[in-house]
Amino acid sequence: MKLPVWIGTSWKMTKTIAEARAYIEHIATAELPAGIQPFVIPAHTSLAAARDALPAESPVLLGAQNAHWGPEGAGTGEVSMRMVGDAGARLVEIGHSERRQHHAETDETVALKARAAVDAGLMPLICVGEPVDVHEAGEAIEFVSSQVRAALGRLSSTEVSGVLIAYEPIWAIGEHGRPATPTEVAPVVSELARVAREVSGGVGCRALLYGGSVDEANAADLLLDANTDGLFVGRAAWTPEGFLRLAAIAAEAAGVP
Ligand code: PGA
């Protein structure tokens, strides 16, 4: 793995502004271990409150769960990359399977959003992952590498080296998900690393993460994989205590004293 080890959470559709503030205040007063890059992705409504609750010297990066690729204007219900940046986002999640499944996100809109994120000075966090039938047919590698090539298609090779990619098999996500085993993750992440190197002129992307039912029991094993540079967590990090315990596990994997 590359250092730092990335450890982050999307709060998805949870937390009021007061709850967001309490969570951020909790992790801001804890001493975060060395060797990790923590990040938190609130809902749009609590992003600015999270930013305001985070001390300037905190290593925690904030992100947005989505933003539109277009400039400001006629986009009822949407927010632009510039707007989420203004509210405190340094990174933006693009192409999460919940958005691909239920909110008409396609490979083409993912690529447009990755382009717009880079143009707005935000780090894209591109999510890819196969459905269960593709997994069972043994075609995960082809499926996700095609998603990644499409997602990066509008970026230059230098820009690709700043991108975060999360492998999140759809069958592993959420309360009905089964966490992927390290053996299932390894070949897919290895191929994603290869594709990222290829399209970035040999450099690779900034970091490759795994997500999908990560918890305190499986995190350390998932981080043993040579190509996995971090974890992207949902439910297990929705409390600040859970987030801090996972941060400690990531720091141990980083091996930084
Ligand atoms: P989960 O969510 O950890 O709750 O399965 C993961 C994700 O959607 O990134």
**SS3 string of 133-201?**
HHHHCCCHHHHHHHHHHHHHCCCCHHHHCCCEEEECCHHHCCCCCCCCCHHHHHHHHHHHHHHHHHHCC
pTM over 0.95: yes
pLDDT for the residue 127: 98
Among 68, 96, 105, 191, which one carries the catalytic annotation?
96
pLDDT for the residue 109: 98
Determine the distance separating the centroid of ligand 1 and the alpha carbon of 233, expressed in angstroms: 5
Residue 257 has pLDDT above 80, yes or no: no
Chain-wide mean pLDDT for the chain? 97
Give residue-wise pLDDT tens across range 115-172: 999 999 999 999 999 999 999 999 999 999 999 999 999 999 999 999 999 999 999 9
Residue 2 has pLDDT above 90, yes or no: no
Integer-rounded Cα radius of gyration of the chain: 17
pLDDT for the residue 1: 81
Ligand 1 pocket, residue 234 CB under 6 Å: yes
Determine the distance separating the centroid of ligand 1 and the alpha carbon of 65, expressed in angstroms: 13
Amino acid at 99: R
Query: CATH homologous superfamily of domain 5-69+78-253?
Result: Aldolase class I (3.20.20.70)
Residue 75 has pLDDT above 90, yes or no: yes
Ligand 1 pocket, residue 159 CB under 6 Å: no
Rounded to whole angstroms, the Cα distance separating 92 from 106 reads 16
Q: Once rounded to an integer, what is the mean pLDDT over residues 222-234?
A: 97
Q: Once rounded to an integer, what is the mean pLDDT over residues 199-213?
A: 97
